[in-house]
Amino acid sequence: MNTGLIAKEGAIGPVAVQADRDADDAQESLLAGLRGIDPALVLLFTDDQTRLRDLARGLRDALPPGCLVAGCSSAGEIGPCGYTSQSVLAIGFPASEFRAHALQLSNLSGLPVSEWMTALRRMHKDFCPDPDRSLFGLLLVDGLAGQEDALVATIDAALPSVPTLGGSAGDGLEFGHTSLLLNDEIISNAAIFLMVETGLTISEVTFAHFSPTATRAVVTAALPDKRRILELNAEPAAEEYARIIGVPQDQLTPTEFARHPLLLRMGRRHHVRAISAITEDGGLSLMSAIDTGTVLTLGRADDLTQGFADALDDLPHAPLMVLGFDCILRRLALERAGLSDRMGDLFAKYRVAGFNTYGEQHSGMHVNQTFVGLAFMAPDKAAQTGNPDAA
């Protein structure tokens, strides 16, 4: 498991390298794939929060001066063999094609929106983007702070011309504590915003495998600040949810939550309001914002793989790599359906690398149970010649 998606010499796309997180040679395995590309940015993902810091320190000492290292704890990794656990994944972005700057957005619980907006606008001005190159934002955020909705809306308002996507840090299926990494510092109750510029062509890819049913429920009591539903249809939330999906309450598990999502309609689209746990008082703890009076629709899982392949086949060119943020509940649904190997084949075919999240961000929204990715493709001229220097 020590290498994957390694670029040939002179390749222009990002490089992903994976290793057993606990192996004695994990650091060297990662560096073997990163040194040759002179990275401007390295993203690091693993489910072991202590290991995350140790590996980051080792990488920074060996990588070129000025190389940014950012990352977070995960609910699993996406590497060359598909979904994995107990691994560490490093993604390097060659300095020949990428330029990056990082901003720490602190005090999520306090929501200092005005301060964030000022800092984001100053960052954009100081970055001086090249209008002839692609510009995008990457967001890594504490997955348990519960403020992604407001944070993403703030970034979208401050930088409306910068397409931004990302993922919420995970903690396996524990939902206890998540960590972010910036250079060699571990932080929480915060977010990391990366502004990145590249000469490559980029395209956002999103896929959600659910559709609405005719079953609806009204949130009749909630704790919005805690993302908690207390009552559905004037009944204890967990009890009523179990009733409408036809599963005994004592058999509700993260896998059942993934199979039977609650959907919130916004405009013409439905978005998942994913359930993370049953609370001690019989409520439902969610992974996105919720409020009293909200009408929710019970979702039904559709084909978990074909739509994903269709979305990537619609790209204008074959991707050099797709940076992926994939909800842990999607992974659980695929595992239950026996489709993990099939999805792994698709990840390998389209060169997907990333991590399993507690939530995903794109288009100014925080969503759940969705795959959100950014495809990197050779510039049009290189793609048309059939020689994109693919990884």
Largest CA distance in the chain: 63
Range of the domain at 217: 210-301
- Examine the fold and report which residue of 254, 271, 301 is the final residue of a domain before the chain moves on: 301
- Burial, 178: exposed, middle or buried (Cβ in 10 Å; 0-12, 13-18, 19+)? buried
Q: Check whether residue 21 and residue 162 sit in a common domain.
A: yes
Q: Check whether residue 344 and residue 245 sit in a common domain.
A: no
Contact by Cβ (8 Å): 46, 20: no
Whether 292 maps to a domain, the answer reads yes
Q: Check whether residue 234 and residue 328 sit in a common domain.
A: no
- Burial, 32: exposed, middle or buried (Cβ in 10 Å; 0-12, 13-18, 19+)? middle
**Rg of the Cα trace of the chain?**
20
Whether 6 maps to a domain, the answer reads no
pLDDT surpasses 90 at 358: yes
Q: How confident is the model at residue 390 (pLDDT cuts 50, 70, 90)?
A: very low
Q: Could you tell me how far CA 303 lies from the centroid of its own chain? A: 21
Q: Check whether residue 137 and residue 248 sit in a common domain.
A: no
Q: Check whether residue 187 and residue 275 sit in a common domain.
A: no
pLDDT at 233: 97
- Examine the fold and report which residue of 301, 326, 360 is the final residue of a domain before the chain moves on: 301
The chain-wide mean pLDDT, for the chain, equals 91
- Examine the fold and report which residue of 240, 271, 301 is the final residue of a domain before the chain moves on: 301
User: pLDDT tens-digit profile of 125-183?
Assistant: 999 999 999 999 999 999 999 999 999 999 999 999 999 999 999 998 888 899 999 99
Q: What is the 3-state secondary structure (H, E, C) of the chain?
A: CCCCCCCCCCCCCCEEEEEECCCCCHHHHHHHHHHHHCEEEEEEEECCHHHHHHHHHHHHHHCCCCCEEEEEECCCEEECCEEECCEEEEEEEECCCEEEEEEEEECHHHCCHHHHHHHHHHHHHHHCCCCCCEEEEEEEECCCCCCHHHHHHHHHHHCCCCCEEEEECCECECCCCCCEEECCEEECCEEEEEEEEECCEEEEEEECCEEEEEEEEEEEEEEHHHCEEEEECCEEHHHHHHHHHCCCHHHCCHHHHHHCCEEEEECCEEEECCEEEECCCCCEEECCCCCCCCEEEEEEECCCCHHHHHHHHCCCCCCCEEEEEEEHHHHHHHHHCCCHHHHHHHHHHHCEEEEEECCEEECCEEECCCEEEEEEECCHHHHHHCCCCCC
Q: Check whether residue 82 and residue 199 sit in a common domain.
A: yes
Contact by Cβ (8 Å): 17, 33: yes
Q: Check whether residue 181 and residue 263 sit in a common domain.
A: no
Q: Check whether residue 261 and residue 379 sit in a common domain.
A: no
Whether 253 maps to a domain, the answer reads yes
Whether 4 maps to a domain, the answer reads no
Provide the percentage of residues in the chain whose pLDDT is more than 70. Answer: 94
Residues 6+ apart with CB under 8 A from 311: 205, 206, 207
- Quick one: which of 236, 222, 240 has its CA closest to 281? 236
> What is the mean pLDDT of the segment spanning 83-106?
96
| β-pair type (321-327, 295-301) | unpaired
pTM of this prediction?
Answer: 0.88
Q: Check whether residue 261 and residue 236 sit in a common domain.
A: yes
Whether 248 maps to a domain, the answer reads yes
Sheet of 180-182: strand order equals 15-20, 87-94, 39-46, 68-73, 180-182, 185-187
pLDDT surpasses 60 at 77: yes
pLDDT surpasses 90 at 98: yes
Q: Check whether residue 285 and residue 339 sit in a common domain.
A: no
Whether 3 maps to a domain, the answer reads no
pLDDT surpasses 50 at 99: yes
Q: Check whether residue 356 and residue 369 sit in a common domain.
A: yes
User: pLDDT tens-digit profile of 318-352?
Assistant: 999 999 999 998 898 888 889 999 999 999 999 99
Whether 110 maps to a domain, the answer reads yes
Q: Check whether residue 292 and residue 309 sit in a common domain.
A: no
Residues 6+ apart with CB under 8 A from 66: 40
Work out how many domains the chain is built from and give that number.
2
| β-pair type (134-141, 164-168) | parallel
